[in-house]
Homo-oligomer: A and B are copies of this chain.
Amino acid sequence: GAALAGAGLMTGSVAKAAPLPIPESNTVMGDPIPAESYGLPTEFEKHVKRRRSDVFKNKQNFSDWSMTPLQHQIGIVTPNGLFFERHHNGVAKIDPDKHRLVIHGLVDRPLEFSMDDIVRYPSVSRFHFMECSGNTLTDWREPKSVTVQQSHGLLACAQWTGVPLSWLLAEAGVKPEGKWVMFEGGDGSGHLRSIPIEKVMDDALLVYGQNGERLRAEQGYPIRAFFPGWEGNTCVKWLRRIKVVAEPDQIRGETARYSDPMPNGKWRQFSMVMECKSVITSPSGGMSLKGPGLYEVQGFAWSGNGKITNVDLTFDGGRTWREAAIEGPALDKCLTRFRYRWNWDGGPAKLASRAMDSTGYVQPTVEDIARVREISGFVQHHNGIFPWTVAQSGEVSNAIA
- Give me the interface of A with B, judged by CB distance under 8 Å: 1-2, 4, 6, 8-9, 13, 20, 23, 25-42, 44-45, 48-52, 54, 60-62, 64-66, 72-83, 85, 87, 89-96, 98-100, 102, 108-112, 120-125, 127, 159-161, 170-171, 173, 186-188, 190, 208-214, 216-218, 221-222, 238, 240, 294-296, 298, 327, 329, 331, 337, 339, 341
Given A33-B64, A38-B48, list of 12 further CB < 8 A pairs?
A: A1-B170, A26-B190, A34-B52, A35-B51, A36-B50, A38-B41, A38-B81, A39-B216, A41-B213, A44-B96, A79-B211, A122-B341
**How distant is A74 from chain B, measured CB to nearest CB, in Å?**
3
Q: When the two chains form their complex, are residues B171 and A92 in contact, meaning their CB atoms are under 8 A apart?
A: no
Separation of A74 and B212 alpha carbons in the complex (Å): 4
Set of chain B residues within 8 Å of A111, measured between Cβ atoms: 8
Q: When the two chains form their complex, are residues A100 and B32 in contact, meaning their CB atoms are under 8 A apart?
A: no
**How distant is A169 from chain B, measured CB to nearest CB, in Å?**
9
Separation of A374 and B62 alpha carbons in the complex (Å): 62
Can you list 16 contacts pairing A with B, beta carbon distance less than 8 Å?
Answer: A26-B190, A29-B62, A30-B89, A31-B217, A32-B64, A36-B51, A37-B50, A39-B81, A39-B82, A42-B93, A42-B214, A75-B211, A76-B125, A77-B159, A79-B79, A125-B337
Separation of A121 and B110 alpha carbons in the complex (Å): 58
Q: When the two chains form their complex, are residues A222 and B44 in contact, meaning their CB atoms are under 8 A apart?
A: yes
Q: When the two chains form their complex, are residues A91 and B31 in contact, meaning their CB atoms are under 8 A apart?
A: yes
Separation of A186 and B22 alpha carbons in the complex (Å): 9
Contact pick for A38, options B23, B40, B221, B339, CB 8 Å: B40
Separation of A49 and B38 alpha carbons in the complex (Å): 5
Q: When the two chains form their complex, are residues B76 and A159 in contact, meaning their CB atoms are under 8 A apart?
A: yes
Set of chain B residues within 8 Å of A34, measured between Cβ atoms: 52, 61, 66
Separation of A82 and B211 alpha carbons in the complex (Å): 11
- Supposing A50-B36, A65-B33 touch, asked if A216 and B80 sit within 8 A by C-beta, the answer is no
**How distant is A291 from chain B, measured CB to nearest CB, in Å?**
11
Contact pick for A36, options B52, B102, B190, CB 8 Å: B52
**How distant is A253 from chain B, measured CB to nearest CB, in Å?**
15
Q: When the two chains form their complex, are residues A30 and B240 in contact, meaning their CB atoms are under 8 A apart?
A: no
Question: What residue in chain B is nearest A214 (Cβ atoms)?
Answer: B45
Q: When the two chains form their complex, are residues B52 and A188 in contact, meaning their CB atoms are under 8 A apart?
A: no
Contact pick for A50, options B39, B61, B73, CB 8 Å: B39
**How distant is A381 from chain B, measured CB to nearest CB, in Å?**
23
Contact pick for A296, options B31, B123, B173, CB 8 Å: B123
Q: When the two chains form their complex, are residues B38 and A50 in contact, meaning their CB atoms are under 8 A apart?
A: yes
Q: When the two chains form their complex, are residues B188 and A27 in contact, meaning their CB atoms are under 8 A apart?
A: yes
Separation of A331 and B127 alpha carbons in the complex (Å): 14
**How distant is A218 from chain B, measured CB to nearest CB, in Å?**
6
Separation of A188 and B23 alpha carbons in the complex (Å): 10
Question: What residue in chain B is nearest A107 (Cβ atoms)?
Answer: B1
